[in-house]
Chains A and B, each alone.
Chain A
Amino acid sequence: MIAKELQEEVYNCIKCGICMNACPVYKQLHVEGAAPRGKVQLIKKIQEGKFDISEGFKNLLYTCLLCETCTVNCPSGVKIDRLFKAMRAEVLKKYKLPLLKRIMSTVLSSDQLLPFCMFWGRTLGNPLMALLPKNGKIGAISFSKLPKFNGKPLMDQYPEIISPSGKAQGRVIYFPGCANNFLFENVGNSTIKVLQRLGVEVVFPKDLKCCSLPIFLSGARQMALSNIKSNLSAFSRYDNVDAIIVDCATCGAAFKEEYVHILGEMGEDTKEAQKVKNKVMDISQYLAKFDLKKYLQPLKGRVTYHDPCHLVRSQKIKDEPRALLKQIPGLDFAEMVGADVCCGGGGTFQLDHPDISVSITKNKIQSIRNTGADTVASGCPGCRLQINGNLGNEKIRVVHPIELLAEAMGKV
């Protein structure tokens, strides 16, 4: 059963229902089982032995974006998302992960398979992808909107130590995440370029693994364990670093929130994870201490910002990315209505529940449209994929804030 302290959480739910109208999924389905309150009550029954983990319960538990909106809105302070995450691990003791997730988790957690798949993905994937029918979809994303593989993994494009342009003002470790390493190289390049320009030495360890958040949030904690330990030990090799820089909201949430909890709940040592938690910074947080004005050239257009769940709720980072965008001269910043509402992607949620996912994303896109922005910035690859994948033919650019910042800094 789940950790003792989490078991007690279910008794703090007084079923006031405030989580329901906060839950993006409930607001689409309007069925109590989809509501956080409903799931918490089922978990209570399971704990009390009055109900068994069932196929139906499993389906409900995975009909959840893990966007954490319920948790931050719960007046009773019930750690709803922690409860669900732990419960997913319990469910997997009885049921297997669906095939697609099992393949994905195996690939992401393996030393050899990931580079192997990515190599063939690059070689065959990009040409093959061009052959896919234009109106087909994977999950909630149109084929035509899938990103291309990087020509070369980001990790192979840089040396282990990347020197700054002038005298070193600081030293950081950079964690690229799978998304940047294999798909969104421009985000990683931008982060490195900005850091270099600001005189920060970047350490780019070559043995970093997938942060494994998609694996352990699917419930497959055991499968994620070796990656977690491997990353922690890679980080601990470097002394004298100001911070571990992450430019992916999800990886940041893994290091800052999930590792400590998951290791703790699995009865593993959390000392290293605790150290890392205190060192990890989102790129927007790290840049807050720099006076960027003097480096920035004007850009044109209007930008709006979408809060990734893993930044605004998991890490409580809300102002820093906006501050970055607002500093760019010439760029008009427009706040959208409901910027912190989940985009509906939810990692693999959009694969499992494309219909629910798309209906949530529609509202987000309408919100973006209403601002009149030509660009939407967001620090999460999942959100960018989801938003871009559902934009249709609209000419709205979807970027990471750091990409705009790097553009404003001009060529190095």
Chain B
Amino acid sequence: MIRPEVIQKFVSIVGKDRCKTSPEDLLTHSYDASILEFVPDAILFPVSTEEVSRIMALASAENVFVTPRGSASGLGGECLAKKGGILLSFTQMNKILEINTENRYAIVEPGIVIADFQKAVEAVNLFYPPDPGSATVASIGGAVMMNAGGMRGIKYGVTRDYLLGMEIVLPSGEVMKTGTITAKDVTGYDLTRLICGSEGTLAIATKITVRLLPKPKARRTLLAIYDDIDDAGKTVAKIVEAGIIPATMELMDKTVIKAVEEAFHLGLPLDAAALLLIDVDGDDATIERQSPLIAEFCQGQGARNVRTSSSEEENVQLWAARRAAFGCIARLRPTCLIEDATVPVNQMVKAIKKVKEICERNNVQIAVLAHAGDGNLHPLMLCDQRDKEEMARVEKAMDEFVEYAMTIGGTLSGEHGIGVNKAKYLPQQLSATSLKIQRGIKNVFDPQGILNPGSFLEVSPK
């Protein structure tokens, strides 16, 4: 609990309207898109770097916990006030400060929603490629702190690859710049990329500078239907091996297809075992060359049907459906836990088989979604969080799958982060030395340990 007189001091920084402490506000800021819940003591809505700096200075002086929050679409409790204290919400600090078409960069405030930002840069023929499934919800600040990946990873990489620099506020309240606006920069340690993916444990971003690309002239979406999910996985491996780089390669299994079709009525075949949704983009010549080639690969690996979208409207529909897949799954069961282990692409077919086998053995209902081009699996475990016994089985299945992913050179998390739930697995991937260094880094930034307490480093086994 924060003492009322301390709350008053925070109010004096942001004003009464942007300091919320009503039970309704606290409860509606207690969750993200996982099943975790932690109730904060107060929520502050800063709108400037100066406010954030003053808030952090006060928090340091009073030893108050502060947890930054974007749109709370994360999947591991990273932006929740795990030990109470202040939740610092950036939903109202959401302006685009500059779109520079000459040097192709933009400067934004952390709260802007990714899709809104993408729309704004595309209006001036530029392109911000990182495209998490939750782009219509997630904020750029959240995406930076989680180093969000997404659907275009195979060709365009992830959030980190587009970060040029930041203005950050340290837990002490000091304001600091990292990076530059230039494409190249080797001056000092790369703090920009260190903070990116730090799950909001090192510093708070108040301005974010990202690199932009020219907007691709065109895109085309291919939909390949399979009677055997293995064939879909093999297609992906073959395409990657052949050196073809589509913009996206998404895999859905039959359960996901069914849920998505129920929500969107796109005419997806309900009897299919799997489908691949593949985007190619670029100039017309590239598209004309790549799409028949990809279609051939699909057919060569046993696709029963390969459909090419006929219009941009159809593209948009198909991708809106893919974006909503996580939500659609809730039509089948109330709760959906989403795994995020990522494996080498050539191991993906095996890994999908394994996760299915594990789930079957533990009597857990599963659906498989994957950013297949990256080997980034998203097995969706369908359950009901009210059923304790079922949740125990789900947890066991997750434990087994993570362990398996480690043995084939995979990683604990491709893009969702470690958060609270995966912290227990950390020592399986990171050595004691690595963890020691990471804890040391945290200590340099946040010696008092007031920023985002209860995060992965703290809760992982020592």
Contact of B23 with A33 in the complex, beta carbons under 8 Å = no
Instruction: Let me know if B327 and A18 touch, CB within 8 A.
Output: yes
Interface stretch (choices B56-64, B328-336, B339-347):
B328-336
Q: Are B134 and A17 closer than 8 Å at their CB atoms?
A: yes
Q: Mark A27-43, 1 if CB is under 8 A from B, else 0.
A: 00011110100110110
* Residue B213 lies at the interface, judged by CB distance under 8 Å to chain A: no
- The distance from the CB of A154 to the nearest CB of chain B, in whole angstroms, is 40
Q: Check A77–B331 contact: CB distance below 8 A.
A: yes
Within 8 A of B (CB), among A230-267: none
B422 to chain A, nearest CB (A): 18
**Known A11-B384, A11-B386: A30·B24 in contact at CB below 8 Å:** no
Within 8 Å CB of A115, what residues of B? none
Given A14-B336, A56-B22: A42 touches B324 (CB 8 Å cut-off): no
CB distance A41 to B31 under 8 Å?
yes
Contacts of A33 in B (CB 8 A): 24-25, 28
B residues less than 8 Å from A14 (CB atoms): 33, 326-327, 329-330, 334-336
Contact in complex: A17, B28 (CB < 8 Å): no
**In the assembled complex, B147 has its CB within 8 A of some CB on chain A:** no
Given contact pairs A15-B33, A17-B33, A31 touches B327 in the complex (Cβ within 8 A):
no
Q: With A11-B384, A12-B334, A21-B113 given, is the CB distance from A41 to B73 under 8 Å?
A: no
Q: Is the CB of A18 within 8 A of B24?
A: no
CA distance A54 to B27 in the complex (A): 13
B111 at the interface (CB under 8 A from A): yes
Contacts of A16 in B (CB 8 A): 33, 73, 134, 137, 324, 326-327
Contact A42 B24 (CB under 8 A): yes
Query: Do B137 and A20 touch across chains, with their CB atoms under 8 A apart?
Result: yes
Residue of A nearest to B113 (CB): A21
Give the distance to chain B from A21, nearest Cβ to Cβ, in Å: 5
Q: Give A12 to B45 CA distance when docked, in angstroms.
A: 29
In whole angstroms, how far apart are the Cα atoms of A16 and B134 in the complex?
Answer: 8
Q: Is A127 an interface residue (CB 8 A)?
A: no
Chain B residue contacts of A30, Cβ below 8 A: 45, 91-92, 94, 111
| Contact yes or no, A75 B324, CB < 8 A | yes
A271 within 8 A of B: no
- Which residue of A has the minimal Cβ distance to B325? A75
CB of A18 within 8 A of CB of B28, answer no
Contact flags B115-151 to A (C-beta < 8 A → 1, else 0)? 1100000000000000000101110000000000000
Known: A33-B24, A60-B24. A18 touches B324 (CB 8 A): yes
Q: How far is the CA of A11 from the CA of B386 in the complex (A)?
A: 9
Contact of A15 with B32 in the complex, beta carbons under 8 Å? yes
A76 CB–B CB distance under 8 Å: yes
A3-17 CB contacts (< 8 Å) to partner B: 11-17
- Contact partner of B27 (CB less than 8 A), chosen from A41, A74, A76, A78, is A41
Q: Mark B255-299, 1 if CB is under 8 A from A, else 0.
A: 000000011000000000000000000000000000000000000
A residues less than 8 Å from B325 (CB atoms): 75
* A45 within 8 Å of B (CB atoms): yes
Cα A42 to Cα B113 in complex, Å, equals: 24
A51 interface hit (Cβ, 8 Å) = yes
> Inside 8 A of A21's CB, which chain B residues have their CB?
113, 115-116, 136-137
Q: Does B72 contact A (CB under 8 A)?
A: yes
Whole-angstrom CA separation of A200 from B326 in the bound complex: 50
Q: Indicate the member of A18, A20, A39, A60 with the most B CB atoms within 10 Å.
A: A18
Question: Does B424 count as interface, using CB distance less than 8 angstroms?
Answer: no
Q: Which residues of B contact A13 (CB under 8 A)?
A: 330
| Residue A57 interfacial (CB < 8 Å) | yes
Name the one of B24, B262, B331 contacting A57, with C-beta atoms under 8 angstroms: B24
Q: With A and B bound together, what is the CA distance between A76 and B33 in angstroms? A: 13
**Residues in B whose Cβ lies below 8 Å from that of A74:** 327
Q: Of the candidates B25, B27, B327, which one forms a contact with A75 in the assembled complex, judged by CB atoms under 8 Å apart?
A: B327
Partner of B137, one of A17, A45, A76: A17
**Chain A residue contacts of B323, Cβ below 8 A:** 18
Interface contact A56-B23, CB-CB below 8 Å: yes
CB distance from A346 to the nearest CB of B (A): 21
**Closest chain A residue to B37, Cβ basis:** A41
Residues in B whose Cβ lies below 8 Å from that of A39: 28
Residues from chain B with a CB closer than 8 A to the CB of A51 are 23, 27
In the assembled complex, which residues on chain A have CB atoms less than 8 Å from the CB atom of B134?
Answer: 16-17
Beta-carbon nearest neighbor of A13 in chain B: B330
Residues of chain B contacted by A60 (CB below 8 angstroms)? 24
**Nearest 6 CB-CB pairings of A with B:** A75-B327, A75-B324, A76-B330, A38-B28, A17-B137, A30-B91
Known: A76-B329, A76-B330. 10 other contacts (CB 8 A): A11-B384, A11-B386, A16-B73, A17-B138, A32-B72, A33-B25, A54-B23, A60-B24, A75-B327, A76-B263
Query: Which residues in B have some Cβ–Cβ distance to A below 8 Å?
Result: 20, 22-25, 27-33, 45, 71-73, 89, 91-92, 94, 111, 113, 115-116, 134, 136-138, 262-263, 323-331, 334-336, 384, 386
**Chain A residues close to B by CB (< 8 Å):** 11-18, 20-21, 30-33, 35, 38-39, 41-42, 45, 51, 54, 56-57, 60, 74-78
